[in-house]
Amino acid sequence: MQEPSLFQLQPGHAPVLMVMPHSGTELPADARGMMTPAAGSMADASWHLERLYAFAQDQGASILRPRYTRYWLDLSPVLETAGRLGDDIYMPRETLHGEPLYLGPPDAAERDRRIQAYWVPFHRCIQAELARLRETHGEVLLWEAHASASVLPGRYPGRRPVLCVGTDAGATCAEPVMQPLIQALAAQDTYSWVVNGRYKGGRIAQKYGNPAEGVHAVSLDICQSAYMNEFAPYNYRLDLAERLQPLLGRMYASALGGLRIAQA
């Protein structure tokens, strides 16, 4: 049985599971001696999402967050595709800004150990919670929440749109659920946005999103500059967050309303 503190699931009563796979900001004790000081920076964490999305939990969404950083093990990749992409997909060798994370590269045995110890329990939890919600509600919304720096050299040209929405070109979410969300975005001109641009969605949404089976998955990657300081110590900016949250709330409510239409 997994150690309970590997992740935190806060079960809710609404037909929503919100997963924050890169929100962990700790390193396990056995990382000492293996990783560089850059690993302790947590520069690429999806900071403060539990606070930014507090409204979703207040409205009954289930929230799943890991304890440990993506630098130790990225929980997003899926076993079906990760093998051909190499170990880096699970254990990144560099930060998103190119800083080395390891004093020496971990071997395949260490990769497999981490997968069994961290990835497997996390994904079993996703599967079990989706099954619970589907049994209760029929159709469910899986919201994969991310936040990244507004500028990522080598990954995105220039400054990214503030709100990047992905549904794998519509494969993970039915139109009745997605269209109201897009309309909520289009009704405002404060924040730049894109749907299924360079960002097609997170791997968790792509793995579990299956509208035909009643799971509608949406990924949202937010520019950190919209609600926090992007540089250490990565402070939450209440003044910025309070401007963004009403739009996030409308997007969330619109998708949830579309889910009810899809159920009808």
Q: Report the pLDDT value the prediction gives residue 42, as an integer from 0 to 100.
A: 94
Cβ-contact 204, 76 below 8 angstroms: yes
Q: Report the pLDDT value the prediction gives residue 2, as an integer from 0 to 100.
A: 45
Q: Report the pLDDT value the prediction gives residue 153, as an integer from 0 to 100.
A: 79
Residue 45 belongs to what domain range? Answer: 4-263
Cβ-proximal residues to 233 (8 Å cutoff; 6+ apart), any chain = none
Query: What SS3 string covers 94-138?
Result: ECCCCCECECCCCCHHHHHHHHHHHHHHHHHHHHHHHHHHHHHHC
Q: Report the pLDDT value the prediction gives residue 158, as an integer from 0 to 100.
A: 85
Whole-structure pTM value: 0.94
Q: Report the pLDDT value the prediction gives residue 145, as an integer from 0 to 100.
A: 99
List the CATH number of the domain containing 177.
Answer: 3.40.630.40
Domains in the chain, number: 1
List the end-to-end C-alpha distance of the chain, in Å, as a whole number. Answer: 39
Q: Report the pLDDT value the prediction gives residue 84, as an integer from 0 to 100.
A: 44
Tokens of 240: 């910025």
Tokens of 109: 């045995």
Q: Report the pLDDT value the prediction gives residue 1, as an integer from 0 to 100.
A: 39
Mean pLDDT by 10 residues, the chain (264 residues): 74 98 95 92 96 98 98 85 57 91 91 93 97 97 97 82 97 97 98 96 96 97 98 96 99 96 76
Cβ-proximal residues to 15 (8 Å cutoff; 6+ apart), any chain = 133, 136, 137, 138, 139, 140, 141, 256, 259
- Lookup result for tokens 């497997």: 120
